[in-house]
């Protein structure tokens, strides 16, 4: 979707007034706020400390940031070394939406699910269309047809505010597809604050009609993630750089174990130790 097509859907995240466009900026007709519109439309005030991503001393986190600048390379390593995805994915969940629907992917990173999805992220990565704080979205009330959020909620300090914002922008009958972690190792990208059980995830969606909830990354992926950090810690002898080295080594060694999720995720009780769950709902 082009920048001109995206701009017509936007409003000021501070006062919800309409925006006027010039060559490089969007100016709010209400409060006068000015936003960068060359390249990805930016709604961030980067002088605000709360919106500046935290620095990480983790080698893997920093390596991940580098790979995100190259979407194809990042996608390859993400699927080879990351958790194995089972259950219903976002693309399949969007299949029933009519052409021209307004779909936003919050915390998208460089991943492009399909061409008509608007990607929103805190960082100016490739394939990101809007740079914004997802707790203050630049969309009007009840204007969005579908919201996607995959393994992002754990990285925000106030997930309830983000979920309230998702509900605000969604139309009645709008779709939400959300993935959140349960049994997963700490991963600061940029921060890491929360985990959810399957029942705990459902509590958030009181104003939604649940369509489907299930395992997105199963128990084998959880085992690999925790084991990777355990063995790295055990063999580090208290030296942080050595721990990070072993963490990368065991990530590679244990990666084939995740294939067991194809079978294990279907077993009774798998939800008790799965890495992540997905929720699909319709706004009432």
DSSP 43: -
Q: Quote the mean pLDDT of the chain.
A: 91
How many CB atoms sit inside 10 A of residue 27's CB? 16
Q: 105 and 14, same structural domain?
A: no
Q: 122 and 158, same structural domain?
A: yes
Which pLDDT does position 224 carry in this prediction? 98
Q: 189 and 140, same structural domain?
A: yes
For residue range 101-150, list pLDDT tens digits in order. Answer: 999 999 999 999 999 999 999 988 999 999 999 999 999 999 999 999 99
Average pLDDT of 268-281? 97
Q: 65 and 195, same structural domain?
A: yes
For residue range 35-89, list pLDDT tens digits in order. Answer: 888 788 888 753 444 455 556 667 777 788 888 899 888 888 888 889 999 999 9
Average pLDDT of 269-273? 97
Closest to 81 measured CA to CA, from 235, 250, 233? 250
What residues does 209 pair with on adjacent strands? 282
pLDDT > 70: what percent of the chain? 93
Enter the tokens of residue 171. 């139309």
Phi, psi of 117 (to 5 degrees): -85, 130
Give the whole-angstrom CA distance, residue 202 versus residue 212. Answer: 11
Peptide bond connecting 59 to the previous residue in cis, omega within 30 degrees of 0: no
7 belongs to a structural domain: yes
Range of the domain at 15: 1-48
Q: 111 and 15, same structural domain?
A: no
Q: 132 and 111, same structural domain?
A: yes
Which pLDDT does position 52 carry in this prediction? 52
Which pLDDT does position 98 carry in this prediction? 85
37 belongs to a structural domain: yes
265 belongs to a structural domain: no
Q: 102 and 70, same structural domain?
A: yes
Counting the structural domains of the chain, the total is 2
Q: 210 and 94, same structural domain?
A: yes
């Amino acid at each position: 979707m082009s920048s001109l097509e995206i701009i017509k859907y936007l409003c000021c995240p501070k006062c919800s007034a309409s925006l006027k466009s010039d060559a490089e900026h969007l100016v709010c007709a209400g409060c006068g706020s000015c936003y960068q519109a060359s390249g990805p439309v930016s709604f961030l005030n980067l002088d605000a400390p709360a919106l500046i991503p935290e620095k990480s001393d983790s080698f893997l986190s920093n390596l991940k940031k580098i790979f995100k600048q190259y979407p194809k390379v990042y996608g390859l390593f993400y699927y080879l070394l990351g958790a194995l995805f089972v259950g219903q994915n976002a693309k399949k969940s969007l299949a029933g939406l009519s052409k021209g629907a307004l779909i936003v992917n919050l915390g998208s990173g460089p991943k492009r699910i399909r061409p008509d999805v608007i990607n929103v992220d805190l960082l100016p990565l490739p394939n990101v269309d809007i740079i914004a704080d997802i707790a203050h979205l630049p969309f009007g009330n009840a204007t969005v047809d579908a919201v996607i959020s995959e393994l992002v909620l754990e990285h925000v300090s106030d997930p309830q505010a983000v979920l309230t914002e998702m509900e605000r922008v969604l139309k009645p009958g709008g779709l939400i597809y959300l993935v959140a972690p349960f049994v997963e190792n700490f991963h600061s990208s940029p921060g890491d604050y929360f985990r959810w059980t399957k029942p705990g995830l459902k509590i958030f969606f009181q104003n939604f009609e649940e369509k489907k909830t299930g395992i997105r990354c199963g128990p084998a992926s959880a085992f690999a993630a925790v084991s990777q950090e355990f063995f790295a810690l055990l063999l580090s002898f208290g030296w942080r750089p050595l721990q990070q080295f072993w963490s990368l080594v065991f990530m590679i060694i244990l990666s084939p174990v995740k294939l067991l999720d194809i079978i294990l995720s279907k077993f009774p009780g798998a939800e008790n130790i799965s890495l992540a769950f997905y929720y699909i709902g319709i706004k009432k």
